[in-house]
């Protein structure tokens, strides 16, 4: 993207915009080998070679950390061969190229982190860091205490046993029940497969929490930037778990008796 040279110099930390104007007019800046002295000249740092006093400059890409409420019907990929909508279609006004941290399948909604900080994303996705992900699951019919116990202790899937999960019944009606499941693994369609393995039919699946980040009042398709404090907190928790100072994961079984809705 083309931008004014003084802005590019400022973003690169060469000088303030006003001081950058003086640098340009004094003939110290060249674009693709040609000295530029006219203010207002534009260039593209991705395609042009810009030098100051003969030394090339580079602008470090701004680190972006986004929290998106992914709706049902979007792919968490950067492109889809079948032409289905992808999550980046929702990021209106975001100029940086960001990537999803992990994935949510096409029919799952809820919280999804996106960033252009590769090291940060890799830390969050690494199994050893055990980042909690909390889901609300609506299933057909009623859920038994035995099914909740099985889910919490770990379920045998085709790719091995799942780790213990935190499971609780939230509500139930005549035809459906809501349960919450918190896991820290990131296997493909894991929550759906866990439910299927114990005989539960998933009607709706929503990721409502990612570590300490909660969906709150966000609506499908909405996104926001993480605050600096939130980014720092995530990084600190990852480091703490990686050094063995974080909390140990244990399965929790809970069941509340709730009167069916009339």
Question: What's the distance, CA 24 to chain centroid?
Answer: 40
- Residue pair 94/64 in contact (Cβ under 8 Å)? The answer is yes
Q: How far apart are CA 177 and CA 171, in angstroms?
A: 6
How deeply is 176 buried, as exposed, middle or buried, from its count of CB atoms within 10 A (0-12, 13-18, 19+)?
A: middle
Euclidean distance between CA atoms 18 and 64, whole angstroms:
27
* 79 CB-contact burial (10 Å; exposed 0-12 / middle 13-18 / buried 19+): exposed
Three-state secondary structure readout of 207-249: EEEECCEECCCCCCCCEEECCHHHHHHHHHHHHHHHCCCCCCC
Structure tokens at 59: 């602008």
Catalytic residue among 44, 48, 53, 105: 105
User: Per the structure block, which two tokens stand in for 180?
Assistant: 């919450």
CB 107 within 8 A of CB 70: no
Q: Is 80 known to be catalytic? A: no
Helix (H, G, I), strand (E, B) or coil at 55: strand
What residues act catalytically? 105
């Amino acid at each position: 993207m083309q931008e004014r040279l003084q802005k590019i110099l400022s973003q690169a930390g060469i000088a303030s915009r006003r001081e950058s104007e003086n640098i340009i007019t004094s003939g110290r800046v060249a674009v693709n080998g040609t000295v530029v002295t006219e203010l207002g000249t534009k260039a593209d740092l991705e395609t042009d070679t810009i030098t100051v006093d003969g030394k090339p400059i580079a602008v470090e890409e701004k680190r972006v950390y986004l929290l998106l409420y992914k709706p049902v019907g979007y792919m968490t990929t950067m492109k889809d061969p079948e032409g289905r909508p992808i999550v980046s279609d929702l990021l209106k006004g975001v100029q940086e190229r960001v990537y999803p941290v992990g994935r949510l399948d096409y029919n799952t909604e809820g919280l999804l982190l996106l960033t252009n900080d590769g090291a940060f994303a890799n830390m969050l996705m690494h199994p050893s860091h055990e980042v909690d992900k909390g889901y609300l699951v609506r299933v057909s019919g009623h859920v038994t205490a035995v099914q909740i116990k099985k889910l919490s202790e770990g379920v045998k899937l085709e790719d091995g046993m799942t780790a213990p999960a935190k499971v609780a019944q939230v509500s139930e009606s005549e035809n459906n029940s809501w349960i919450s499941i918190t896991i820290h693994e990131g296997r493909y369609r894991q929550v759906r497969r866990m439910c299927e393995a114990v005989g539960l039919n998933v009607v709706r699946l929503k990721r409502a929490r990612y570590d300490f980040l909660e969906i709150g009042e966000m609506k499908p398709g909405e996104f926001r930037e993480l605050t600096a404090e939130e980014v720092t907190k995530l990084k600190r928790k990852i480091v703490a778990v990686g050094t063995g100072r974080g909390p140990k994961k244990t399965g929790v079984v809970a069941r509340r008796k709730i009167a069916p809705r009339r």
